[in-house]
Amino acid sequence: MSTTKNVGERRVVANVLRGSIGNLVEWYDWYVYAAFSVYFAKAFFPEGEPTAQLLSTAAVFAVGFLMRPLGGWALGRYADKFGRRSALTLSVTVMAAGSLMIALTPGFATIGIAAPVLLLLARLLQGLSVGGEYATSATYLSEVASPGKRGFYSSFQYVTLVAGQLTALGVQIVLQQVLTSEQMYSWGWRIPFLIGATGAVVVMLLRRGMDESESFRAETARNAQAPAESRGSLRVLLQYPRECLLVVGLTIGGTVAFYTYTTYMQKFMINTSGISKTTVAWINFVALLAFVVLQPLAGALSDRIGRRKLLIFFGVGGTVLTVPIMTVLAQTTNPFAAFGLMMLALVLVTGYTSINSIVKAELFPTKIRALGVGLPYALTVAIFGGTAELIALGLKKAGHESMFFWYVAGCVAISLITYFFMRETSAQSTIEAEAGAAAGADARDREIVGVHN
């Protein structure tokens, strides 16, 4: 029995690792845009005031988010109908195409208005890919995890998500050391996109060898005679309105806080705090490295005390402390103080990031899980997460930057209300309920066979 259990656990670890590596590459490709936008803004947009150019790249960043709901719908539906493995392979293929397009597109000085148009098209492809990647990877990691450890294993989605961002920052730091500033602005920023496109192609090949999740195989077997359209359709999803609204409510504050304290923080420290680009890159790198380590620790904690308590920890902390953290950070040039403030914010956000995927997955049955996790989440992220940086830069340009701090706190407060009234999903998990039902059916079948024999 012990040997069988150990083999099963090793299989779980292997599946989680294979799913996570692809997730890392996908999010590396997504975050490279944010990490290097300070360098390629001049290449794609006409000469002008630096904040205006950053606003242009931020607008394209936000538009990329508009494709995430489409990706969440299309690839989530695909995953529920044809399997998680096939959808994950498709999503990383689309990402490779988007990254390669950005890497090879000439600048505004060479092809004029076609440059920002091609940048926009590439970002739309990346948004489509990421929208589907989140839905499918969250579903896959939740389904392949061991019972009682689903919080721990599913936390690796944000481990690899943040690790992708960390890798992007690492590449930035290395390039800053080996290339001059002129080279970075001229052509050096293209290198990370080439790296991302190559990595995505490798992952596409690796994902073909992934195991399909047992939950999906069991669902397919249970409904072998049912039409494929009964899985992953909007008609079926609309049968779960409360669950969809819960996904929206618990995501609003989390996505705004996450993008504020990760992607936007780099620009905030440079433009507002006045810290040098190189120093900011190191601050972000070390803080995000610590953030990665926190994810599985918090995920494992949620398996012991429940998901809801961690969400409330984030909600209360984010509502009360966001304005003080951002206000003090805006006035400091000390890198150690800046790191401490960023780290405090990331500890709070961990209460959301470490478990948000498993909470969403536990709300929906297998037949609609990928679409249920992906579509309402992607819509919320597109509206709130994707516009966070644009709103922040717009308010700064208008001379009312502090209003953004209150905006973030208000979004977290909305989610806090959701956390207070939602149920404890780990105690009423659809994943565990379906697994228990399947085990009971297998036991009955064995008993019937035994009687007949």
d(CA 453, CA 448): 9
d(CA 103, CA 105): 6
* pLDDT means over runs of 10, the chain (453 residues): 55 77 84 81 70 67 77 87 86 88 85 84 87 84 83 88 86 89 88 91 80 79 62 81 94 94 87 87 89 94 94 96 95 93 96 92 88 89 85 88 94 96 85 64 47 50
pLDDT at 335: 92
| Multiple choice CATH, 17-213+232-452, 3.20.20.70, 2.40.30.10, 1.20.1250.20, 1.10.357.10 | 1.20.1250.20
pLDDT at 257: 95
Burial zone of 74 (CB within 10 Å; 0-12 exposed, 13-18 middle, 19+ buried): buried
d(CA 410, CA 404): 10
Nearest to 364 by CA among 267, 448, 248, 242: 242
- pTM score, whole prediction: 0.81
Report yes or no: 355 and 155 within 8 Å, Cβ to Cβ: yes
d(CA 122, CA 124): 5
Report yes or no: 339 and 138 within 8 Å, Cβ to Cβ: no
pLDDT at 446: 46
How many other C-beta atoms lie within 10 A of the C-beta of residue 254? Answer: 26
Distance spanning both ends of the chain, measured CA to CA: 25
Question: Domain-by-domain residue ranges, the chain?
Answer: 17-213+232-452
